[in-house]
């Protein structure tokens, strides 16, 4: 019998919703909890709801959540005797597990040796092949020269996937369609891998065309028992990062589930694994599955497994870490119903899923769903961390019931102040391909026209509503909701989703308002204001529009999507182009300047890469809007920059300057 490792107080080396999630199960088992936080998170919910909290540094992850010495010191100061890493940050860093062992702390996760073995994609594939686990054909050799990698890719045959060996989450990953684009993609993948993981090494894999991404949840104790808890389908992804997950997979039957589960259990036994973990596979159209990687931690999507099994996976983690044997047998694990989860991210789908940051002015979660978040009114969404801000999970007796519940709950969600992927997620769930259970990893790319497009009629209706709401919440005289007090027409100028507009609004009756935009007339009936917003009638249909006005900016929810409209009626016209067309390359978001690809005096062509910003763990290339000579570079690599800041100035060629606007 292995030695028990009891503990009583857990430091959670993470933030946000996962810190709160661990706190919940820890309290239920009688443990006290310690939160850690950066200075950017000092008022966050995970800090306020813990028994104790310790500041571990400045906002940047390297100074706080990634600083192992600070985390160990925080545990010592708070008297914690165990550390739970959550997911992300240091969750798969063997150095944290070793540091905990050296400090006499129980690490709630696998051994440093297991993390190291499975965290390196090349070595993990070799171990899995030795254990008889099917793997994707590819190259994971030590020769990392451009020439060798290019030759191996040509031998494997395109399309080829480049993957960073040291990490996951879609970072350092590139799909290459032809030999001509391989070297550019390799350089980009290495740069992102170096920035994210401090290691530019990559492996190559044959790209399986339109597979499903299916993973198996496992838990193993130190007494030799390992169990699987079924599969999750994580095929709906953008930028190789999951956004919709479900259990069970619509493509997996009982026979395949048992085969994949037995394979996963065999794999973890082969490496002496202890704790919760997930083996990720690609599943092709013929039912063949191939090992991709193992996540040696709790997964973001673990709630869907909890929903269909009734098992608290975090509680199992804590019991296993304390040395308790698993009390379950494989036949005890039963699956009931269907569960689907979506990841609510602070990002702009219409702008290539660009991360967003700011203040959440209003947050109302639907009561019909399980919502894992650390959000509240006034919560800050900083630019330093992952863009995921919440998870919404629905359970149903069958898949369609779970899907409907989740889509409806999403459309009822009020998240105002920071743009999110709320509407995009709802459209994913209602898409006929997803509804039929046929989504593969190509789903978002293939269906993006329907998932991202808004037709012209919807756009006109949206603008009319935005103008009416501006009129109703501020008449221009500073008196809120006094816009119906005069019958005189009022011209309202506004900016909605980066587009300027103007509307003429006229009071028709005491409770009627007419909006004219480009000769299109829309009439609204005002039924009154509520605590959440305003009740309006249009074409005989009544709806309550949730809204919040802060100065010149009005945030509102319409058709399950959040919007921000700026009142420009009394504002001076904006100057300068935001896309670099005036020769100035501006930061498109708050972030860190990762690299500058040009130097002063260098000539560049329009569209040429100039610099790369990193925000919320993703890299974003900024390109020259005009051709010309770089005259000024006003920031250095490593600088934290604000959205809109001019970083590079280009003196445009005469031919560019003479082009008509």
Q: Active-site residues: which are they? A: 297
Could you give the CA distance from residue 300 to residue 48 in angstroms, rounded to a whole number? 22
The answer to whether 593 and 611 have CB atoms below 8 angstroms apart is yes
Phi and psi angles of residue 4, each rounded to the nearest 5 degrees, phi first = -75, 155
Could you give the CA distance from residue 514 to residue 79 in angstroms, rounded to a whole number? 65
Nearest Cα residue to 48 out of 80, 79, 16, 89: 16
b/e 341-355 (16+ beta carbons within 10 angstroms → b): bbbbbbbbbbeebbb
SS3 of residue 449 by DSSP: helix
Pairing of strands 553-558, 561-567: antiparallel
Could you give the CA distance from residue 20 to residue 22 in angstroms, rounded to a whole number? 5
Nearest Cα residue to 35 out of 20, 48, 47: 47
- Please give the biggest Cα pair distance in the chain: 85
Residues in the chain: 661
Phi and psi angles of residue 332, each rounded to the nearest 5 degrees, phi first = -75, -20
What is the Cα gyration radius of the chain? 26
Sign of the Cα pseudo-torsion (95, 26, 20, 240, in order): positive
Adjacent-strand bridge partners of 491: 504
Could you give the CA distance from residue 259 to residue 270 in angstroms, rounded to a whole number? 17
Instruction: Please tell me what DSSP assigns to residue 287.
Output: S
Phi and psi angles of residue 352, each rounded to the nearest 5 degrees, phi first = 70, 30
Could you give the CA distance from residue 96 to residue 107 in angstroms, rounded to a whole number? 8
Encoded tokens for 325: 């044997």
The answer to whether 345 and 387 have CB atoms below 8 angstroms apart is yes
The torsion region of residue 222 among left (phi > 0), alpha (psi -120 to 50) and beta comes to alpha
């Amino acid at each position: 019998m292995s030695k028990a490792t009891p503990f009583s107080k857990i430091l959670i080396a993470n933030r946000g919703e996962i810190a709160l999630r661990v706190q919940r199960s820890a309290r239920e088992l009688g443990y006290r909890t310690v939160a850690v936080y950066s200075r950017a998170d000092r008022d966050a919910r995970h800090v306020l709801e813990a028994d104790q909290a310790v500041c571990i540094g400045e906002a940047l992850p390297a100074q706080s959540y990634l600083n192992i010495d600070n985390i160990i010191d925080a545990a010592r100061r708070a008297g914690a005797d165990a550390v739970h890493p959550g997911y992300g940050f240091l969750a798969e860093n063997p150095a944290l597990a070793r540091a905990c062992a050296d400090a006499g702390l129980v690490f709630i996760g696998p051994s440093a040796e297991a993390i190291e073995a499975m965290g390196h994609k090349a070595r993990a594939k070799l171990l899995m092949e030795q254990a008889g686990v099917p793997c994707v054909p590819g190259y994971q050799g030590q020769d990392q020269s451009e020439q060798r990698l290019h030759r191996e890719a040509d031998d494997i045959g395109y399309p080829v996937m480049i993957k960073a060996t040291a990490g996951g989450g879609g970072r350092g990953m590139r799909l290459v369609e032809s030999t001509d684009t391989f070297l550019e993609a390799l350089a980009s993948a290495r740069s992102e891998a170096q920035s994210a993981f401090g290691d530019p090494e990559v492996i190559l894999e044959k790209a399986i065309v339109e597979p499903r991404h299916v993973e198996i949840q496992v838990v193993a104790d130190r007494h030799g028992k390992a169990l699987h808890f079924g599969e999750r389908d994580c095929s709906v992804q953008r930028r190789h990062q999951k956004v919709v997950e479900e259990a069970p997979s619509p493509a997996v039957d009982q026979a395949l589930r048992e085969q994949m589960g037995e394979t996963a259990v065999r794999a973890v036994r082969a490496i002496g694994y202890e704790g919760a973990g997930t083996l990720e596979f690609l599943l092709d159209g013929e039912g063949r599955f191939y090992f991709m990687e193992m996540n040696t931690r709790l997964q973001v999507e673990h709630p869907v497994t909890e929903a269909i099994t009734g098992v608290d996976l975090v509680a199992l983690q804590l019991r296993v870490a304390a040395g308790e044997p698993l009390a379950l047998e494989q036949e005890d694990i039963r699956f009931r119903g269907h569960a689907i989860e979506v990841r609510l991210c602070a990002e702009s789908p219409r702008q290539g899923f660009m991360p967003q940051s700011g203040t959440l002015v209003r947050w109302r979660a639907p009561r019909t769903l399980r919502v894992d978040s650390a959000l509240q009114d006034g919560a800050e969404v900083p630019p330093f961390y992952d863009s995921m801000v919440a998870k919404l999970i629905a359970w149903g007796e069958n898949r369609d019931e779970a899907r409907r519940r989740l889509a409806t709950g999403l459309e009822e969600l009020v998240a105002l102040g920071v743009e999110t992927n709320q509407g995009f997620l709802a459209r994913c769930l209602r898409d006929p391909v997803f509804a039929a259970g046929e989504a593969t990893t190509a789903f978002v790319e293939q269906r993006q026209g329907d998932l991202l497009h808004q037709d012209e009629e919807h756009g006109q209706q949206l603008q009319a509503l935005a103008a009416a709401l501006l009129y109703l919440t501020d008449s221009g005289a500073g008196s809120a909701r006094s816009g119906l007090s005069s019958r005189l027409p009022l011209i309202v100028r506004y900016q909605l989703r980066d587009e300027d507009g103007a509307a003429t609004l006229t009071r028709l009756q005491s409770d009627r308002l007419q909006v004219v935009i480009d000769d299109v007339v829309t009439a609204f009936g005002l039924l009154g204001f509520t605590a959440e917003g305003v009740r309006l009638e249009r074409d005989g249909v009544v709806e309550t529009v949730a809204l919040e006005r802060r100065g010149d900016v009005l945030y509102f929810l319409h058709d399950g999507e959040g919007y921000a409209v700026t009142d420009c009626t009394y504002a001076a016209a904006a100057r300068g182009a935001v896309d670099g067309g005036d020769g100035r390359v501006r930061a498109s978001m708050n972030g860190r300047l990762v690299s500058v690809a040009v130097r002063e005096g260098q000539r560049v062509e329009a569209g040429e890469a100039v610099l790369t910003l990193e925000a919320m763990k993703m890299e974003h290339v900024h390109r020259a809007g005009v051709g010309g000579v770089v005259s000024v570079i006003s920031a250095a690599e490593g600088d934290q920059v604000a959205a809109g800041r001019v970083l590079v100035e280009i003196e445009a060629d005469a031919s560019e300057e003479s082009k008509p606007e």
